[in-house]
Structure 1
Amino acid sequence: MEKIVVLTGAGISAENGLGTFRDEEGLWAQHRIEDVATPEGFAANPQLVHDFYNARRAQAVEASPNAAHQALARLEAEFSGEVLIVTQNVDNLHEAAGSKAVVHMHGALSGALCAACDHRWPAPLVMAPNDPCPACNQPATRPDIVWFGEMPYGMEAIWDQLRAADLFVAIGTSGNVYPAAAFVQDAARYGADTVELNLEPSATISDFADARFGKASDVVSAWVEEVLAQ
């Protein structure tokens, strides 16, 4: 086995207090997704959207990697082949744990984007609609986050990596959001073995050859131990 591609979703960071869409409490429960996670919501009320992501950014800055993030960083460091993490998460907990090969397909809270000229720069802790772009000076600052209705980042490269994988692993994902929900079928079609590590079965559980259920910090750590022992 030479290449492992790992998809991570909100479930891997849930133990850190960074909520998922489906949490009954927390930031997402206080807002309609259409209001804070779509281009239309941003156009209608940019201050609301900035307030929402400012709160998420503050939350993420206070979080530390858990045992699952640390286990994946160890896997990358000690595995004899290649390990790539493709994450749907916008926090930086994989990097904080030591992972280096990480693709943020949905963007990152640590980034700012100019809606006028597409310039990107490190986001301050607090952003506002009238913040000028450092490149074009237009007041068109938005979070560098992929919202619903927008194309995730790096998709061509991700598909190429999936099709070259010997093993595809999905961790803490619901299987409800495309294109990520299709990754397991695509990887399997090109010959990869497939494993789901999750708190409970995802919507795409029937597409996986193997599955383990439990807290991410437990099941991911145990799985990494198995892989490294082989």
Structure 2
Amino acid sequence: MSEVGTDAVNTDELTRARRALQRGGPLVVLSGAGMSAESGVPTFRDAQTGLWERYDPTELATPGAWRRDRDTVWAWYRWREHLVSTAEPNAGHLAVAEAQAHRDVTVVTQNVDDLHERAGSRRVHHVHGSLFAHRCDTCAAPVDAGPPPPELVDRLAPPLCTHCDGRARPGVVWFGESLPEAPWEAAVTAVTAASAVVVVGTSGLVHPAASLPSLAASHGVPVVEVNPGPSGLGREVSVHLRAQAGQVLPALLDR
């Protein structure tokens, strides 16, 4: 596996990566927290600042926490929604969206924000759910919770469901919950049918999403990793471009 340095993108390695993507056919982009971090969106643990410093995020993001104190959990997630709503898609998000002009592009993301959609990507599968897809905690019906409050509060009552006595809950996957079936099946179908896969800003440690690059490689699909740090993947990676998404994706995905 070859790598590109973080200070400057090696032209030869970028050429190799572009060649891997130019076989024609569908392209799949797998994105993780590193891509959103370039837009200023705090990672899951980095969001624990100020009012929320005394909380462990892994204890807030559980069904048990919701049962014990849903007003606190709801307030934390609404604050995260506010943080995302103030961020803007970066050059990497825009490059992925612009690639749709000349090929079939599917985004499979572990991120729960809407930056890919706001950049213009039309086919986005959220395998860990979405902050903005609120649903009833009892009957699972969609709930319109409106925009998040701009002020920071430590408790906030979730709105009532209009179909039952339940309350709106975040549309994300909590620890101990299964991935949403439809997005996961769509992700598996996309990577196995792809002509190339680009993995951006993910540690490769969160399963089962981390298994997708290996699944692609097992079907003979070339995998290009874009990550400024050490590779979070393994032998399945054809080329590792050690750069940020906003730095290299415009050149990598340009026709």
User: Residues 39 and 202 from structure 1, CA distance in 2 versus in 1: closer, same or farther, beyond 3 angstroms?
Assistant: farther
Question: Following the alignment from structure 1 to structure 2, what is the Cα–Cα distance between the partners of residues 131 and 22?
Answer: 26
**Matching of residues 1-230 of structure 1 within 5 Å:** 1-21=24-44, 23=46, 26=49, 31-79=55-103, 82-126=104-148, 128-136=156-164, 138-153=165-180, 154-225=183-254, 228=255
Counterparts of 2:31 and 2:54, CA distance in 1: 24
Q: CA contact under 8 A between 2:202 and 2:232: conserved in structure 1?
A: no
CA distance in 2, matches of 1:202, 1:40: 34
Amino acid paired to 2:116: H
Distance 1:123 1:212 in 2: 40
- Contact between 1:6 and 1:169, CA under 8 Å: does it hold in 2? yes
Aligned residues, how many?
223
Distance in 1 between residues matched to 2:234 and 2:55, nearest whole Å:
29
CA deviation digits over 1:180-207, x for unaligned, max 9? 1100110111110101101212431443
Shift in CA distance, 142/24, structure 1 to aligned 2, threshold 3 Å: closer
1:12-32 superposed Cα distances (whole Å, 9 cap, x missing partner): 111221112354975886631
Q: Deviations over 1:100-159 (max 9, x none)?
A: 0111111112221111101013332248445210222x1422111111221222212221
Q: Matched residues, percent identical?
A: 37
Deviation at 1:8, TM superposition (A): 0.6
Q: Gaps spanning 5+ residues in structure 2: where?
A: 1-23, 150-155
Task: Indicate if the aligned counterparts of 2:231 and 2:240 stay in contact, CA closer than 8 A.
Answer: no
Change in Cα spacing, 1:25 to 1:216, as seen in structure 2 (3 Å) is: farther
CA contact 1:69–1:94 (8 Å) conserved in 2: yes
Q: Which has the higher contact order (CA 8 A, sep 6+)?
A: 2
**Which one-letter code corresponds to 1:189 in the other structure?**
S
CA distance in structure 2 between the partners assigned to 1:206 and 1:23 by the alignment: 30
* CA pair 56-48 structure 1, distance change in 2 beyond 3 A: same
Structure 1 residues 65, 130: closer, same or farther in 2, change over 3 A? Answer: closer
Which structure has the larger Rg over C-alpha atoms? Answer: 2
SS at match of 1:150: coil
Mapped to 2, the partners of 1:159 and 1:98 lie a distance apart of 22
* TM-score in terms of structure 1 length: 0.89
Flag structure 1 segments of 5+ consecutive residues without an equivalent.
none
Change (3 A) 1:25 1:120: closer
**Distance (Å, rounded) in 2 between the aligned partners of 1:37 and 1:202:** 27
